[in-house]
Chain A
Amino acid sequence: MKAISAAASTWGVLLMSGAGCYSGIGDGAGQGATDGDAAGSEGDAGDTGDSSAPVDPEVLERVAPSGMRRLTAFEYAATVRDLLDVEVPADLLLPEDPRQPFDNDYRIQVASQALIEGAELLAADVAGLALGSPTSRDMVVGCTPTGDSDVECFRSFVTRFGRRALRRPLTAAEVDRYSGLLAEAEEAGDFYAAVEVALRAFLQHPEFLYRIEIGTPVTDSPGVYRLGDHELASRLSYFVWGSMPSDEILDRADAGALRTAAQLVDTAQGMLDDPRARARVGRFHALWLGYERLGHGPELAASMRAETQALVDRVVFEEGSPWQELLRAEQTWLDDTLAAHYGLPAPSGGPGWVDYGDSGRLGLLGHGSFLSAVSAVGDTSPIQRGLMIRTRMMCQDIPPPPPGVDIDNTAPAEGQCKDDFYRVTLGAPSCAGCHDHFNPIGLGLEQYDNAGRFRTQELDLPTCEIPGDGVVDGVPFSGPAELSALLLGSGTLNACVTRQLYRFATGRTELGPVDEAFVAEIADEIGPADDFDFAQLMVRFVADEAFSLRRDDTETGEGQ
């Protein structure tokens, strides 16, 4: 495996050694987050009409719009796991989160009866599980009541749990109001009945179900706000972990210790050591490259997922290798099932790293997960694979098919070889204008079937040889290894990864000029050809002053 390039190291070291070297990063207390979060009902900036210090015009140009974001079903499950140590199948009860390709586009989230009642039932389920045993009950409440109406214990529970559930300290008035629920304990003759009601309420609270950012107006910048400490803590934790802030991060927010770039970088670096970061980065890649759900049996699908997650873990977290190693790793993590599936040597003594050798595979593009990601019914789809590479990995827009094109019946005639169909039939002048952009890419992967197995003949038509020759922008290639090399040398990959991560971070699929400015700021810094460290790319997002700011999103969205 290649060593980290000097360029990547330099970039990482630069970032690590002094965040202040980046232009526009606020490093003084006056420029950081505000001490009062906009959420909450008293003592916050939104009510007082305070404004925060002006922001460098260059930074302002890349401040992203943000709107309230509902926790996805995945984030909900992760959040209650961290909050209460309970597992719930949130995806059974919450409305589906469309993948396009990420599952968190807030502009298409619409509240519905299905959401409200699903959240209410989930709250009941979670409360039931959390209070289901004396041990977990004690952990949730954090004190032992001296009687059914132990006000002190209940207030302490409300204060502590409310801060974790709403991801900010409760105001005194809120603590009073929630403490009023102790009436239920008296009614029921059971202290924990009141705890149950409080849990139900917190878990249905809009500030639990949504991440609501308000912030403090930035002087002379209408529509731009600086996030409050706790708003920023949540933005940070859902970005890096896909879940709620830990107590430690909330403590830092309480202490105003998330205000400078150095503080934010330090916090983010610490978060990257947590297993939640690994899962988060793995999920980003799975959504981005389309293999989050695999259409295989459970055993094969689990083996494929393990293979790809192992590579992500190794490259990004264990070896600190450049992200590019994902595409040029010469080894892969196999168990017996997957080794037999690929026809590669099985690892000795259980799952482990195996050399690809001269198999033509390399890195993630040689994984069954990636090669299964898009397909036609019963076989690969060179069109879909080519489109995936173009749109997801090269970030190029491909216009939709023109009127009159039957996209559902794009298949070879009876007895026609696929290669002939895609190369000749769709190479006709009337088709080639578009199809030449993506078909030849897919054809270059054709020797790998829709479950990632190598082949040289079509399954249904053994007389049809599969040459597996592809072309990207005039450069020939064959197979995942050569495609990886082409992409790595394309000069567009780094900016594209940055753009995709930005979409995932901001929860918006459609990007505008300020978004592109943020992406360009960082992509320019990485450079088009240098290696970079993915974990440090995430840190770089956080370190940018624009990460601590928001622009009021004027789109109600809702997919209109």
Chain B
Amino acid sequence: MDRRLAPPRRTSLLRPTSLLRRTFLRGAAGFAMALPLLESMQASAGVSAPRRYFLGFAGSSIGFPGFEYDQLVPDAEGHGYDIKRALQPLADLGIGDAVSVVSGMEIPWGDAGSVPPAGRVRQWHAKSVAPLVSGIAGADNGNERARGATSDQIAADILGKLTPHRLLNYRVQAAYYRGSNGDGGDRGRISYREDKGQIVPVDPIVSPRLAYESLFTGFVPPDPALASAALAVLRRRRSAVDLVLEDAQALIPRLGAADRVRLERHFDELRELEQRLDMDAPPVTGACEMLADPGEDPAIGGSVENGDTGGFANGGAYSGEELRAEILTDLIAMAFTCDLTRVASLMYTMAQCFLNANPLFGQPSDLHELGHYGVGGGQVGLDAMSDGVGWHVGHFGRLVQKLRDTQELDGSSVLDNSALILLFEGGWGYDPEAGDPLSVHSSENMSALVAGHAGGLNPGGGQHVRNDGGHPTQVINTALRAVGIDHEMGDVPGVVGALFG
């Protein structure tokens, strides 16, 4: 069954409905609603298009055991670089000239008690993620949780004030697929928020259906009958949430201190939902439109434990991630287009990704095992591994392509006003855990992709920039600066200046 999104409908599917809704809501709730989007629209009238920030993450290294190179990083530096196997999807999408590759970076490591700033502990799996996304050294006791706020949350605090969603925080990979009782836990998160002095992990939305329903809250179809039904649903949602908020608020002071903190967090999130329900649908202008309903979510696949090629061939360890990636990408693109949000983070795959590669590109193995001779060694192994890297590149590229092809009201493209990055969990090189000089369990030779032109980023289009010895989190600093946020992540100073020309 083809469950892809229907082609964009160019006829207008929505219209502002503020008068009717506000009238009712005022009457029902007895007080006037804040309408931040309206203010946003007023504030931005005649002002240039907003800047958007996108962080993508791939739970994969980019090389292959025994190889002193990978097939992501071009040989040539500068513009017009050569396209290797893992970048081929960019060329196929016709955006080979729109994406920069930053190579040669590394995350330092150390043993417990002496992990360097912004570094990782000697052990490999998932230990690079915390310093990568936060710029602060990871724990040295096996905990894989980030210890600083992440860039999507930092950007959302600044760019997300005026949009219905301060941030879209999604994950493509639906389950961990490893271990009889395995779960992703911290391996399934790249978003952490500072809240009341604590660093709090933020669960991503994984369900495409939920992402869709959440994003298009407030959109009302122009057909009067459909509009009436949609408005009724909105009204009921609002009434229910209002009641619950009142009850939660009454309950909070009666709880013990720890429970109070936890219910307050729940309450805060619920209030944000209430505010979204109050907002008007965005104006139907330009390319903004309501996407077709993606329908029910694909079922969650079971784990394939046993190196069982039959299990991979039969579609285990897979929950329709190809479709999930397409839907979530489309939603992010449209959210940027409609100014429903200006910040998104998308975890394509979890750290140490055990997603089945077979439905993605015909290799009966999970992505992690591809890096460990899952389908063979030598060039065969490197190619298979590169196809796994390329799968992430392809979906990132698809987002870049959509934003490039979407026009803002002022005639620029959304890509012109965006900064998008794709980070990888690892590179290749020395593995201090095994003492292996050429391993995929390495945070040497890390690379990242950077697209968009916000703030003068990539002035001459995509190029290959070496940032030898630099920290990959400098790429985040760079993208933040491009969207107007002068912030250096954790203990990682500096930006990749060459990306600004």
A positions within 8 Å CB-CB of B: 38-39, 41, 46-47, 67-68, 91-93, 95-101, 109-118, 120-121, 123-124, 174, 177-178, 181, 183-184, 187-188, 193, 196-198, 200-201, 204-207, 210, 212, 214, 287, 290-298, 301, 372-375, 377-379, 400-401, 403-409, 450-451, 552-560
Q: Pick the residue among A184, A204, A405, A408 that contacts B441 (CB under 8 A).
A: A408
Shortest CB distance A370–B (Å) = 10
B237-290, CB < 8 A from A: 237, 239-241, 243-244, 246-248, 250-251, 254-259, 261-263, 265-266, 268-270, 272-273
Partner of B125, one of A68, A205, A374, A408: A408
Report the Cα distance A417→B431, complex, angstroms.
Answer: 26
Cα separation A95 to B175 with both chains bound (whole Å) = 11
Q: Are B203 and A114 closer than 8 Å at their CB atoms?
A: yes
Which B residues lie within 8 Å of A201 (CB)? 239-241, 243-244
Number of inter-chain CB pairs below 8 Å: 257
Q: Given A68-B262, A114-B169, A558–B240 Cβ distance below 8 Å?
A: no
Give which listed residue, B125, B210, B244, contacts A118 with CB less than 8 A. Answer: B210
Q: What is the bound-complex CA distance between A560 and B311, given in angstroms? A: 36
In angstroms, Cα B263 to Cα A219, docked, is: 27
**Cα–Cα distance between A450 and B308 once the two chains are bound (Å):** 11
Q: Which residues of B contact A177 (CB under 8 A)?
A: 243, 246
Can you sample 27 A-B contacts with CB below 8 Å? A41-B247, A91-B300, A95-B203, A98-B185, A112-B269, A113-B205, A118-B205, A120-B237, A181-B243, A201-B240, A204-B241, A205-B247, A206-B244, A206-B263, A206-B266, A207-B247, A210-B263, A292-B181, A294-B302, A372-B306, A379-B307, A403-B121, A403-B122, A403-B123, A450-B306, A451-B306, A560-B199
What are the residues of chain B within 8 A of A409 when measuring CB–CB? 433-434
How far, in angstroms, from A291 to B303 measured CA to CA in the complex? Answer: 12
Pairwise interchain contact B258-A555, C-beta atoms closer than 8 A = yes
User: Known pairs A111-B268, A212-B263, A406-B441. 6 more at Cβ < 8 A?
Assistant: A67-B258, A111-B269, A117-B273, A121-B213, A377-B369, A408-B441
What separation, in Å, do the CA atoms of A261 and B303 have in the docked complex?
A: 44
CA distance A374 to B179 in the complex (A): 6
Contact of A200 among B213, B237, B263 (CB under 8 A): B237
Chain B's closest residue to A196 (CB) is B236
A116–B198 touching, CB < 8 Å: no
* Distance of B67 from chain A, by nearest CB (Å): 17
- Taking the closest CB of chain B, its distance from the CB of A364, in whole angstroms, is 14
Whether, in the assembled complex, B28 has its beta carbon less than 8 Å from a beta carbon of chain A, the answer is: yes
Task: State how many angstroms separate the Cβ of A412 from the closest Cβ of chain B.
Answer: 14
Complex Cα distance, B186 from A321, in Å, reads 41
Q: Which chain B residues numbered 305 to 337 have a C-beta less than 8 Å away from chain A?
A: 305-308, 310-311, 314, 316
* A465, B409: Cα distance in complex, Å: 73
Task: Specify which chain A residues have a CB less than 8 angstroms from the CB of B199 in the assembled complex.
Answer: 560
Partner of A204, one of B142, B240, B302: B240
- Is A292 in contact with B180, judged by CB distance below 8 angstroms? yes
Contact of B305 among A41, A116, A295 (CB under 8 A): A295
Residues of B within 8 A of A378 (CB): 306-308
Contacts of A290 in B (CB 8 A): 179-181
Question: Which 7 pairs of residues, A with B, have the shortest CB-CB distance?
Answer: A378-B307, A295-B305, A200-B240, A111-B266, A552-B256, A201-B240, A406-B434
CB contacts (< 8 Å) of A404 on chain B: these are 111, 122, 432-433
Give every chain A residue within 8 A of B431 (Cβ-Cβ).
Answer: 406
A204-B240, A378-B307 known; A115 and B180 CB under 8 Å? Answer: no
| Residues 133-178 of B at the A interface (beta carbon under 8 Å) | 141-142, 145, 169, 175
For the complex, count residues of B whose C-beta is within 8 A of A: 87
Contacts of A297 in B (CB 8 A): 310-311, 314, 316
Q: In the bound complex, what is the Cα–Cα distance between A292 and B183 (angstroms)?
A: 12
* Residues of B contacting A92 in the complex (Cβ-Cβ under 8 angstroms): 207, 209, 297, 300
Q: Given A68-B262, A552-B258, check contact A558 B201 (CB 8 Å).
A: yes
B481 beta carbon closer than 8 Å to chain A: no
User: Restricting to B187-231, which residues have a CB under 8 Å from any CB of A?
Assistant: 188, 198-207, 209-210, 213-214
A204-B188 Cα distance, complex, nearest whole Å? 25
- Whether the pair B203, A115 counts as a contact (CB closer than 8 A) is yes
Q: Which residues of B contact A557 (CB under 8 A)?
A: 258, 262
Docked-complex contact A114 and B204, CB < 8 angstroms? yes
Query: CB of B182 within 8 A of chain A?
Result: yes
Separation in Å of the B319 CB from the closest CB of chain A? Answer: 9
Given contacts A68-B259, A92-B297, contact A206 B251 (CB under 8 A): yes
How far apart are A471's CB and chain B's nearest CB, in angstroms?
25
Q: With a CB–CB cut-off of 8 A, which chain A residues contact B303?
A: 293-295
B84 neighbours in A (Cβ, 8 Å): none
Q: Is the CB of B239 within 8 A of A184?
A: yes
Q: In the complex, are the beta carbons of B145 and A110 less than 8 A apart?
A: no
Q: Chain B, 1-33, contact with A by CB distance < 8 Å: what is the 0/1 string?
A: 000000000000000000000001000100000
Bound complex: CA A559 to CA B142 (Å): 13
User: In this complex, which of B145, B207, B246 has the most chain A Cβ atoms within 10 angstroms of its Cβ?
Assistant: B207
CB-CB nearest in chain B for A555 = B258
Q: For residue A408, which residues in chain B have a CB less than 8 angstroms away from its CB? A: 124-125, 433-434, 441
The yes or no answer to B232 lying at the interface (CB within 8 A) is yes
* Smallest CB gap from A400: residue in B: B142
- Cα separation A83 to B255 with both chains bound (whole Å): 26
Chain A residues lying within 8 Å of B248, measured Cβ to Cβ, are 205-206
- B269 / chain A contacts, CB cutoff of 8 Å: 111-113, 115-116
- Contact status A214-B255, CB under 8 Å: yes
Smallest beta-carbon distance B338→chain A, Å: 18
Q: How far is the CB of A555 from chain B (nearest CB, A)?
A: 6
A121-B213, A297-B314, A373-B180 known; A207-B251 Cβ under 8 A = yes
A405→B112 CA distance, assembly (Å): 12
For residue B439, which residue of chain A has the nearest CB? A409
Q: Which residue, of B28, B209, B308, B435, has the highest number of chain A Cβ atoms within 10 A?
A: B308
| Chain A residues, Cβ within 8 Å of B201 | 110, 558-559
Most chain A CB atoms below 10 A, which of B28, B203, B204: B203
- Docked Cα-Cα span, A257 to B407, in Å, equals 68
How far apart are the CA atoms of A559 and B246 in the complex, in Å? 28
- Chain B hits for A379, CB < 8 A: 306-307
Chain B residues, Cβ within 8 Å of A375: 305-306
Cβ–Cβ < 8 Å partners of B441 in chain A: 406, 408
Q: Given A115-B203, A206-B263 in contact, is the A301-B302 Cβ separation under 8 Å?
A: yes
Chain A residues with CB under 8 Å of B305's CB are 295-296, 372, 375, 377, 450
Known contacts A110-B265, A406-B433; A553 and B258 CB within 8 A of each other = yes
Q: In angstroms, how far is the closest chain B Cβ from the Cβ of A146?
A: 22
Which residue in chain B gives the minimum CB-CB distance to A95? B203
CB distance from A449 to the nearest CB of B (A): 9
Partner of B316, one of A39, A295, A554: A295
Q: Which residues of B contact A210 (CB under 8 A)?
A: 263, 266
Contacts of B205 in A (CB 8 A): 113-114, 117-118
- Contacting pair B180 A294 (CB below 8 A): yes
CB distance from B324 to the nearest CB of A (A): 12
Residues of A close to B169: CB separation below 8 A? 113-114
Q: Is B86 an interface residue (CB 8 A)?
A: no
A558 touches which of B180, B198, B214, B308 (Cβ 8 Å) = B198
User: Known interface pairs A295-B308, A404-B111. Does A372 touch B180 (Cβ–Cβ under 8 Å)?
Assistant: yes
- Check A407/B273 contact, CB under 8 A, given A67-B258, A92-B300, A93-B207: no
Check B265 against A111 for contact (C-beta < 8 Å): yes
Chain B positions 20-71 with a Cβ under 8 Å from a chain A Cβ:
24, 28
Bound form: Cα–Cα A97–B112 in Å: 29
Instruction: Give complex CA distance A41, B305 in Å.
Output: 50
Inter-chain contacts of A121 with B (CB < 8 A): 209-210, 213-214
Residues of A near B265 (CB, < 8 A) are 110-111
Within the complex, what minimum Cβ distance (angstroms) separates B313 from chain A? 11
Q: Is the CB of B266 within 8 A of A116?
A: yes
- Cβ–Cβ contact A120 & B241, under 8 A: yes
Nearest Cβ on chain B to A511's Cβ, whole angstroms: 17
Q: Give the chain B neighbours of A554 by CB distance below 8 A.
A: 256-258
